[in-house]
């Protein structure tokens, strides 16, 4: 109910032109760099960042992403060498699945460390990761990391 009232008042103010003279009109908002970090953690994150450090959960996420990229690279190399056939390919696939499973275990640990539920990450789907690794190399993974 309150949301509807607030929206109605905003629309009415827009009709009256009350927002027309605001600075930055027509340009995108510049949001705070730390808007995704809970307010009670922002000062600590700024201090760590200024010292060239990051919270342990940020470092863990970076490690998980690098491990994921490395697993993708290794699977692509195996695909190129084996032509996606034979025992060597099956072994490479098994190693990849095991690595993704290990990363998933670490994602669960990551999710326990982050200061906010909004920062938690979903587990990786093995079949989707295989497709991403083989699609177009690093490009698919880099695009996905923006979502992940």
Give 136's pLDDT tier (boundaries 50, 70, 90): low
Q: Tell me the C-alpha distance between 124 and 80, whole Å.
A: 23
DSSP state of 123: P
Give 147's pLDDT tier (boundaries 50, 70, 90): very low
Q: What average pLDDT score do residues 1-15 get?
A: 84
Q: Tell me the C-alpha distance between 84 and 23, whole Å.
A: 58
pLDDT at 94 over 90: yes
Q: Are 1 and 84 in contact (CB under 8 A)?
A: no
Q: Are 82 and 92 in contact (CB under 8 A)?
A: yes
CB neighbours of 101 closer than 8 A, spacing ≥ 6? 126
**Residue-range domain boundaries for the chain:** 55-145
pLDDT at 138 over 60: no
Q: What average pLDDT score do residues 30-49 get?
A: 75
49-85 pLDDT tens trace: 788 887 888 889 999 999 999 999 999 999 999 999 9
Q: What pLDDT, on the 0 to 100 scale, is given for residue 76? A: 95
pLDDT at 45 over 80: no
Query: How far is the CA of 113 from the CAs of 44, 75, 92, 110, in angstroms?
Result: 15, 30, 32, 5
pTM of the model: 0.63
Structure tokens that stand for 70 in this block: 């490395």
Give 31's pLDDT tier (boundaries 50, 70, 90): low
DSSP state of 38: -
**Among 10-14, 30-34, 127-131, 142-146, which is the least confidently predicted range?**
142-146
Q: What pLDDT, on the 0 to 100 scale, is given for residue 27? A: 76
């Amino acid at each position: 109910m309150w949301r509807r009232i607030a929206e109605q008042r905003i629309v009415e103010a827009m009709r009256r032109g009350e927002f027309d003279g605001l600075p930055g009109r027509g340009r995108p908002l510049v949001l705070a760099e730390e808007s995704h970090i809970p307010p009670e953690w922002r000062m600590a994150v700024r201090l760590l960042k200024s010292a060239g450090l990051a919270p342990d959960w940020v470092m863990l996420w970076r490690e998980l992403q690098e491990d994921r990229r490395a697993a993708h690279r290794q699977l692509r190399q195996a695909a190129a060498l084996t032509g996606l056939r034979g025992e060597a390919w099956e072994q490479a696939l098994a190693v990849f699945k095991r690595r993704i499973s290990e990363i998933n275990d670490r994602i669960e640990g990551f999710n326990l460390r982050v200061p906010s539920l909004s920062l938690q990450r979903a587990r990786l789907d093995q079949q989707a990761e295989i497709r991403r690794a083989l699609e177009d190399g690093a490009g698919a993974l880099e695009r996905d990391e923006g979502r992940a």
